[in-house]
Amino acid sequence: MNVTITLNGEARMFDVAGPESLLSVLRNDLDLPGTKDACEQGECGSCTVNMDGEALCSCLVMAVDADGSIVLTVEGLSSEGELHAVQDAMLKHGAVQCGFCTPGIVVAGSRLLESNPHPTEIEIREALSGNICRCTGYGAILRAFEDLAAEES
């Protein structure tokens, strides 16, 4: 089954035979390992991608069903070597330890700021409630997003 998606701004084609997830195709067939694979059951958010404007768990998207959609992964957020504002803020606040949750948090958080540039603390917590971090205790991550939320747009 041939599938075409717009991936990080470029048309990409791939072939799948079965019900495999978009996550497995991204990592194994399209050489984009930035999207992380941890639980494969929608619980951890490490596989979060932006698909047609929504933050979704790519482990729960059947790859063949993504045909025709617009997908943005963490690799597509920075442009020409410039980090995305969310990535900058995460670095500045030391919001990364092992880094396994980071791509999912960056993608989910950038989706939040697109739809709501000045979220409250509660809105930030809610938007990131599907992303588990086992290292940071979330404090530094929250501070990074509060910083971004306070910025003039």
Partner 1 sequence: MGVGVSTSYGRSYSDRAFATDYRMPMEFTAAANLDELLDVKAQQPDAQLLAGGTDLMVAVNLAHHRPEQIVSLGRVEELKDVGSARIGAGTTWARLEQCQYTALAQAARTVGSPQIRAAGTIGGNIGTASPAGDGLPWIAAADAEIIVESKERGERIVPWREFFTGVKRTSLASDEVITGVTIPDNLPDAQEFAKVGTRNAMVIATVSCVVMRGDDGFRVALGSVAPTPMRATRAEEMINAESTISDAVLEEFGRIVQDEVQPITDHRSTEAYRRHAAGVLARRLVKRTLQ
- Asked if 42 is part of the footprint of ligand FES (rule: CB under 6 A), the reply reads yes
Place of tokens 């979060």: 48
Say if CB 103 and CB 46 are below 8 A apart: yes
DSSP-assigned beta bridge partners for residue 72: 50
- Asked if 41 is part of the footprint of ligand FAD (rule: CB under 6 A), the reply reads yes
- Asked if 117 is part of the footprint of ligand FAD (rule: CB under 6 A), the reply reads no
Q: Which tokens belong to 101?
A: 């949750």
Build a one-symbol-per-residue string for 90-109: x at contacts with ligand FES by CB under 6 A, - elsewhere.
Answer: ------xxxxxx--------
- 18 closest CA partner among 7, 31, 29: 29
The Cα 69–Cα 46 span in angstroms is 20
Q: What are phi and psi of 133, to 5 degrees?
A: -120, 125
Candidates 57-65, 77-85, 86-94, 141-149; binding stretch for partner 1 (CB under 8 A): 57-65
- Asked if 42 is part of the footprint of ligand FAD (rule: CB under 6 A), the reply reads yes
Which 1-30 positions form the footprint of partner 1 (CB under 8 A)? 1, 16-21, 24, 27-28
Residue 22 Cα distances to 19, 100, 116, angstroms: 9, 18, 27
- Binding interface with ligand FAD (CB under 6 A): 41-43
Binding site for partner 1 (CB under 8 A): 1, 16-21, 24, 27-28, 37-43, 45, 48, 54-57, 59-62, 64-65, 67, 108, 126-127, 129-131
